[in-house]
């Protein structure tokens, strides 16, 4: 017996009937750091951690008095300060009369286990406190731990998921075989990437996931740990950035060609209209010239839509009330959608004002109405609603593209065929269309998107296949009085006898503009450059109006106006340009009270603008 205890890999001790130690083996001394002679009696307690002594002594006394087995976990503190966790177990030794003779027991080193438990507690506490989703699975891929972030994100209680295979969280829209590949790679190393999972209510959302192995104290893999993060907001921001970059590219393209394209279209459209005015309507050529003018107008509109999408069209915002605008546009919309589709207006009381170019309201409603009409088979209903809304930070979690503030909402709903998610993600892309060839350019909704963004608003779409669609447009509230809209201004007479100085560096446009104004009775002075215009002004007694291009070599239109104002203080000015809004704005032209004519324009449009300005 003595030989066995001396060689035992566990600590061995014996006590008398009173519980006082009478023997400890070498392993006991090694674990406690206490020599055998100092462990006799109750001296062994000196090796026990001060925080464990009272509890251990009390438990030992209770077991001795009751003649019961004793088991306890406690700490030894060696002379060098090292702490050793042990588990002590003791059983009573009885004589033939069943009287207690003493105790014999063992102590086992459990330091590694205690460290692992402490590490586990710290890990659990840490994983509970992090914002990322943390999970641990066993080797059969069943969940053994989920943190609070998991519960918040997925909507499950822990009792509903622990013990279940991780596959129940998996979205079927992930690539085939990806789950098995993740598990395979994780068992031999780690995996990092993006996946799609499902919440308790079936909502699909994207996550970034990083997995690694969980090992025991021997380095054996006993499970997998996964740290993941809901990246829904990040994906939405990436999509917005991608859309913004795409819009910027389209804007650069449109802006790059707009000036030259508008000038060329202006020449074609202008001369076609001049010829049309000189032809008898019964002349066979009259119809041909009308076709040329119509094609030119469609081309000009295409450029205008591109510039609207790119937020580069020249605008003149004014304060207005959307309810009043809708009331005036109701007849136009009814003609556009046809008799088979009912139009319902639901204006909100006490609607706030907004500030926007009235022609842009026309564009928004016309494009949405056309889109809704084409989505409705046979008969249906279009409903237009307005409302005031205040958006705060709480809305941003679901709609990060929104901006807090006060807005007027224009909700445009139809009972058409609706759209799936894939279509909704692309509807605002320029040239994207689901219509058959020849029935649309794919710029209608892109135009709406650009106009809304140009006015610091945002747009949201609600739609499901077979359930129709609702477009909600949010435009910032304007704190000021609205201008009273007019259903139709009085017809402006186009003819006049005043003297007009036209300055244009494009020779064909110069000739066209002069011919048009002469046709309407004006005396016209033409100049191919600002320098030539200044010379004409010095030699001419009376000039009532300056019509000038904005961007010209040597001197721009604004600088020319300022130069001529010193010579002719009362002379009025109209600026014209085929450039985009940002280019024109950089020349200081888009200030309030400045008269501007966007190229291309018809002779009638030029004459009308001239007459309006001269009439004051």
CATH code at 127?
A: 3.30.450.20
Q: Which residues have C-beta within 8 Å of that of residue 174, sequence separation ≥ 6? A: 195, 196
For residue 264, is it within any domain? no
Element holding 182 (H helix, E strand): helix 178-188
Give the model's pLDDT for residue 593. Answer: 65
- Structural domain including 529 reads 499-615
Strand order in the sheet with 545-549: 523-527, 499-503, 545-549, 572-577, 595-598
Is 226 a member of any domain?
yes
Q: Are residues 45 and 181 in the same domain?
A: no
Structural domain includes residue 121: yes
Q: Rounded mean pLDDT of the chain?
A: 86
Query: Would you state the pLDDT for residue 502?
Result: 95
- We report the CATH number of the domain holding residue 529 as 3.40.50.2300
Residues 95 and 123 reside in one and the same domain: no
- Candidates 543, 565, 598, 550; CA nearest to 269 is 598
240-251 tens-digit pLDDT: 788 777 767 776
As a whole number, mean pLDDT of residues 303-323 equals 75
Asked whether residue 236 is assigned to any structural domain, the reply reads no
Q: Report the DSSP beta bridge partners of residue 499.
A: 523
**Which of 230, 257, 277 finishes a domain?**
230
Tell whether 335 and 393 lie within a shared domain: yes
Distance from C-alpha of 470 to C-alpha of 485, rounded to nearest angstrom: 27
pLDDT at 486 over 60: no
**Residue 205 confidence (pLDDT):** 95
Q: What are φ and ψ of residue 590, in 5° steps?
A: -90, 30
Q: What is the pTM of this model?
A: 0.52
Looking at the fold, whether 343 and 471 belong to one and the same domain comes out as yes
Report the pLDDT value the prediction gives residue 521, as an integer from 0 to 100.
93
Question: What pLDDT band is residue 206 in, cutting at 50, 70 and 90?
Answer: very high
Q: Does 304 map to a domain?
A: no
Of 109, 138, 166, which residue constitutes the final position of a domain? 109
Q: Are residues 525 and 611 in the same domain?
A: yes
Q: Kindly give the pairing relationship between strand 523-527 and strand 545-549.
A: unpaired
Sheet of strand 70-77, all strands in order from the earlier edge strand to the far edge:
21-24, 11-16, 100-109, 83-94, 70-77
Q: Which of 381, 387, 386, 388 is nearest to 344 (CA)?
A: 381
Cis peptide before 350 (omega within 30 of 0): no
Residues 94 and 139 in one domain: no
Strand-strand pairing, 458-463 and 380-391: unpaired
Tally the domains of the chain. 4
548 plus 602 within the same structural domain: yes
Closest CA relative to residue 19, chosen from 47, 68, 61: 61
* 195, part of any domain: yes
Residues 101 and 122 in one domain: no
| Reported confidence tier of residue 388, pLDDT bands at 50, 70, 90 | very high
């Amino acid at each position: 017996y003595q030989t066995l205890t001396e060689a035992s890999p566990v600590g061995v001790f014996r006590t008398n009937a009173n519980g006082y130690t009478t023997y400890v083996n070498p392993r006991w001394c090694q674990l406690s750091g206490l020599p055998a002679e100092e462990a006799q009696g109750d001296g062994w307690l000196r090796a026990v951690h001060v925080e464990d002594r009272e509890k251990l002594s009390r438990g030992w006394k209770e077991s001795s008095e009751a003649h019961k087995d004793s088991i306890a976990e406690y700490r030894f503190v060696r002379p060098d300060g090292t702490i050793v966790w042990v588990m002590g177990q003791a059983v009573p030794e009885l004589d033939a009369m069943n009287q207690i003779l003493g105790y014999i027991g063992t102590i086992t080193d459990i330091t590694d286990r205690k460290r692992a438990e402490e590490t586990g507690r710290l890990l659990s506490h840490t994983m509970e406190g992090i914002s990322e989703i943390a999970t641990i699975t066993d080797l059969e891929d069943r969940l053994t731990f989920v943190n609070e972030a998991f519960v918040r994100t997925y909507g499950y209680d822990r009792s509903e998921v622990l013990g279940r295979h991780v596959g129940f969280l998996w979205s079927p829209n992930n690539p085939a075989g990806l789950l098995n590949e993740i598990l395979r790679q994780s068992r031999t190393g780690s995996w990092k990437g993006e996946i799609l999972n499902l919440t308790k209510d079936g909502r699909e959302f994207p996550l970034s996931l990083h997995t690694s192995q969980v090992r025991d104290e021997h380095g054996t893999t006993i499970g997998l740990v996964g740290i993941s993060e809901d990246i829904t907001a990040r994906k939405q921001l990436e999509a917005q950035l991608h859309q913004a970059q795409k819009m910027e590219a389209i804007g650069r393209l449109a802006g790059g060609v707009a000036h030259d394209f508008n000038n060329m279209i202006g020449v074609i459209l202008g001369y076609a209209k001049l010829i049309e005015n000189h032809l008898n309507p019964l002349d066979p050529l009259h119809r041909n010239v009308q076709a040329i003018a119509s094609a030119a107008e469609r081309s000009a509109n295409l450029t205008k839509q591109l510039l609207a999408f790119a937020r580069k069209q020249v605008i003149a915002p004014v304060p207005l009330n959307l309810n009043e605008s809708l009331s005036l546009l109701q007849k136009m919309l009814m003609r556009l959608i046809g008799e088979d589709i009912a139009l319902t207006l639901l204006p909100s009381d006490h609607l706030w004002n907004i500030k926007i170019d009235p022609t842009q309201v026309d564009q928004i409603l016309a494009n949405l109405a056309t889109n809704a009409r084409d989505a409705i088979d046979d008969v249906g209903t279009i409903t237009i609603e307005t409302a005031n809304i205040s958006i705060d930070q709480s809305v941003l979690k679901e709609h990060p593209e929104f901006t807090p503030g006060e807005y007027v909402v224009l909700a445009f709903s139809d009972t058409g065929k609706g759209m799936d998610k894939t279509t909704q993600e692309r509807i605002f892309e320029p040239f994207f269309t689901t219509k058959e060839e020849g029935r649309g350019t794919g710029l209608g909704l892109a135009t709406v998107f650009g106009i809304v963004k140009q006015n610091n608003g945002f747009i949201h779409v609600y739609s499901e296949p077979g359930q129709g669609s609702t477009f909600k447009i949010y435009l910032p509230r304007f704190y000021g009085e609205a201008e009273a809209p007019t259903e139709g201004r009085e017809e402006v007479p186009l003819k006049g006898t005043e003297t007009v100085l036209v300055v244009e560096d494009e020779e064909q446009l110069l000739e066209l503009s002069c011919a048009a104004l002469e046709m309407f009775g004006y005396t016209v002075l033409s100049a191919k450059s600002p320098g030539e215009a200044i010379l004409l002004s010095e030699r001419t007694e009376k000039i009532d109006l300056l019509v000038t291009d904005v961007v010209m070599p040597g001197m721009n239109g604004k600088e020319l106006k300022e130069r001529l104002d010193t010579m002719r203080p009362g002379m009025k000015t109209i600026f014209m340009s085929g450039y985009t809004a940002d280019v024109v704005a950089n020349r200081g032209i888009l200030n309030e009270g400045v008269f501007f004519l966007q190229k291309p324009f018809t002779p009638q449009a030029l004459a009308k603008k001239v007459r309006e300005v001269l009439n004051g």
